[in-house]
Chain A
Amino acid sequence: AQSVTQLGSHVSVSEGALVLLRCNYSSSVPPYLFWYVQYPNQGLQLLLKYTTGATLVKGINGFEAEFKKSETSFHLTKPSAHMSDAAEYFCAVINFQGAQKLVFGQGTRLTINP
């Protein structure tokens, strides 16, 4: 069965610094991978997704992620953090066994220091 592991439940960076949120996946088939963001008291919003094709995918708000099959990773990056990036970030994989459902990691809370 597919699963994801997010390394670090809390990440803190300074405004303007690089943001790196780590996600590793486990899948017996080629995975479909997603990053979602959740702002306080809101639902989840899709940042970006990888299905097939180019392994570097660009999303909204300046975020991007690179699918690395050899490392079973799908890390999320942003070159320069902004205060508005403070939120909870979830990596997810589609489970194609049975119903096609999203399986989420436990989340990483990103804090931006002024």
Chain B
Amino acid sequence: EAGVAQSPRYKIIEKRQSVAFWCNPISGHATLYWYQQILGQGPKLLIQFQNNGVVDDSQLPKDRFSAERLKGVDSTLKIQPAKLEDSAVYLCASTSLAGLYEQYFGPGTRLTVT
């Protein structure tokens, strides 16, 4: 079974530029998560999708961050414009409805904002 795929793996941009990350979850997994992991901290949930609907986006900075999951499969997370404090690893995870809360994580995208 293929795991969660993410791209790109690394991205360096200047502040005020925009950037987009892509995630393809494990086939058949209905729930998809985006986390932000700042260096030295645990991951923090940004947004949770169930199929193509948003379940929780309470910690998503909506003035600059947006995410979508069209057709309930892959997802994109966008930042526009980026700030220095957005430098972090962005992790995507997925789980099945019957997965007993076991989330499978992708390798992450490391974003550096200069």
By a beta-carbon cutoff of 8 Å, the part of chain A in contact with chain B is 9, 32, 34, 36, 41-46, 49, 51, 90, 92, 94, 98-102, 104-107
Contact = CB atoms under 8 A, between A and B. Distances in A.
B43 A104 contact: yes
Nearest to B50: A99
A37 to B, nearest CB: 11
B24 to A, nearest CB: 13
Given A90-B43, A106-B40, A100 B101 contact: yes
Given A42-B107, A43-B4, A101-B33, A49 B101 contact: yes
Contacts of B44: 104
Given A43-B4, A43-B91, A101-B56, A106 B106 contact: no
Contacts, number: 58
Interface residues of B, number: 24
B25 interface: no
Given A49-B102, A102-B45, 17 more contacts: A32-B101, A34-B101, A41-B108, A42-B107, A43-B91, A43-B106, A43-B107, A44-B43, A44-B103, A49-B101, A51-B100, A99-B48, A102-B43, A104-B42, A105-B42, A107-B41, A107-B42
A106 B55 contact: no
B100 A41 contact: no
| B contacts with A: majority SS | loop
B107 to A, nearest CB: 5
B105 A43 contact: yes
Contacts of B33: 101
A36 B103 CA distance: 10
Contact of A44 (B45, B58, B105): B105
